Amino acid sequence: MSAPELEIKGVSRVFPGRKGGAPIEALSPTDLTLAKNDFVTILGPSGCGKSTLLRIVAGLDKPTTGEVLLEGKAIKGPGADRGMVFQSYTLFPWLTIRENVGFGLREKGVRDKQVREAVDLYLDRVGLSAFADHWPKQLSGGMQQRTAIARALANDPKILLLDEPFGALDNQTRGLMQELLLGIWEREKKTVIFVTHDIEESVFMASRVVTMSARPGRISSITPVDFPHPRDYHLKADPEFARLRMKLTEEIRAEVVAAASRG
Ligand SMILES: Nc1ncnc2c1ncn2[C@@H]1O[C@H](COP(=O)(O)OP(=O)(O)OP(=O)(O)O)[C@@H](O)[C@H]1O
């Protein structure tokens, strides 16, 4: 295996209980290592700590124990080396699509010409060149998420962190977005962590599917997904794809049933 790109080592998170209640162990000590160009999807029932783990990797939250290393360096806070895309549309409404995509680069003091080149390149990659001068509110949800992906990529991060990025989209748009993101990943070879509730999506996108169980959140399985690239929607009809989807459905189902019986 090549040198690890990201190492999650013994990372846990305990939140203080509300109003004197018992503390909440959102994440029990967790280890996960990603190689460069890995595409890991994280799948699990609601409340199993997926977002907590992603926020810690992003540097938006601090672990109670453990540490996260990116290319051997401990993560201490948010940084341009990690690009985030959330489920809710997070574009700046007062900036045009072009200005949104170029925002991070401008903040870093990159020269205008380079900003323009990067913005043009990534708007082209997500198919939004014709909308560069529109405002976010003039775009559909899918187009806003494409802009958010272009914005994350324009900063040339080492790793992309996506928290249910297609969760609010209709099924058709979602399928197209999956192919679009995979196409970009196949080309750019970024390292990706992608949180989703959707089992089919988790298999379609991933090199490895990590499942998590709740209370306290922990990794319950890691499933390699070896289908070749480029992948397109025909893969979803493949018998081996159906077998993996069923295996994960059963795992997650058992988790949800167990969590419900714990009350
Ligand atoms: N700031 C906080 N304070 C207290 N408890 C929190 C906080 N953030 C998360 N939790 C709790 O930690 C647990 C894990 O939450 P988290 O949002 O990471 O789960 P998740 O798997 O991403 O859920 P979902 O799929 O519903 O988004 C939950 O029980 C949640 O209520």
Tell whether ligand 1 has an atom less than 6 A from the beta carbon of residue 88.
no
Residue with tokens 């559909």: 140
Q: Residue 19 Cα, ligand 1 centroid: separation in angstroms?
A: 17
Residue 16 covered by a domain:
no
Residue 212 covered by a domain:
yes
Residue 101 covered by a domain:
yes
Q: How many domains does the chain have?
A: 1
Q: What is the DSSP letter of 253?
A: H
Three-class DSSP labels, 177-229: HHHHHHHHHHHHCCEEEEEECCHHHHHHHCCEEEEEECCCEEEEEEEECCCCC
Length of the chain: 263
Question: Which amino acid residue places its CA nearest to atom 30 of ligand 1?
Answer: 47
Residue 117 covered by a domain:
yes
Q: What is the C-alpha to C-alpha distance for residues 145 and 30, in angstroms, rounded to an integer?
A: 30
Residue 169 covered by a domain:
yes
CATH number at 79 reads 3.40.50.300
The pLDDT profile of the chain, 263 residues, written as one tens digit per residue, is 567 999 999 999 999 988 888 999 999 999 999 999 999 999 988 888 999 999 999 999 999 999 999 999 999 999 989 999 988 878 999 999 999 999 999 999 999 999 999 999 999 999 999 999 999 999 999 999 999 999 999 999 999 999 999 998 889 989 999 999 999 999 988 999 999 999 999 999 999 999 998 878 999 999 999 999 999 999 999 999 999 999 999 999 888 888 777 76
Tell whether ligand 1 has an atom less than 6 A from the beta carbon of residue 75.
no
Closest ligand 1 atom, residue 55 Cα: 18
Closest ligand 1 atom, residue 52 Cα: 18
Residue 17 covered by a domain:
no
Which domain range does residue 249 map to? 36-63+75-262
Q: Tokens at residue 253, please?
A: 């189902």
Question: Which amino acid residue places its CA nearest to atom 16 of ligand 1?
Answer: 49
The helix or strand, by DSSP H or E, that contains position 24, with its residue range, turns out to be strand 24-35
Closest ligand 1 atom, residue 49 Cα: 18
The pLDDT score that the predictor gives to residue 168 is 87
Tell whether ligand 1 has an atom less than 6 A from the beta carbon of residue 214.
no
The pLDDT score that the predictor gives to residue 259 is 76
Mutating to test ligand 1, I would choose from 25, 50, 213, 256 the residue with most ligand atoms within 8 A of its C-beta, which is 50
Question: Which amino acid residue places its CA nearest to atom 1 of ligand 1?
Answer: 15
Q: Tokens at residue 77, please?
A: 């806070």
The pLDDT score that the predictor gives to residue 54 is 96
Mutating to test ligand 1, I would choose from 15, 212, 252 the residue with most ligand atoms within 8 A of its C-beta, which is 15
Partnered with residue 191 across adjacent β-strands are 159
Question: Which amino acid residue places its CA nearest to atom 29 of ligand 1?
Answer: 47
Peptide bond into 216 cis (omega under 30): yes
The pLDDT score that the predictor gives to residue 263 is 63
The pLDDT score that the predictor gives to residue 249 is 95
Tell whether ligand 1 has an atom less than 6 A from the beta carbon of residue 233.
no
Q: What is the C-alpha to C-alpha distance for residues 51 and 84, in angstroms, rounded to an integer?
A: 12
Residue 26 covered by a domain:
no
Tell whether ligand 1 has an atom less than 6 A from the beta carbon of residue 54.
no
Residue 29 covered by a domain:
no
Pairing of strands 39-43, 65-70: unpaired
The pLDDT score that the predictor gives to residue 15 is 94
Mutating to test ligand 1, I would choose from 48, 199, 212 the residue with most ligand atoms within 8 A of its C-beta, which is 48
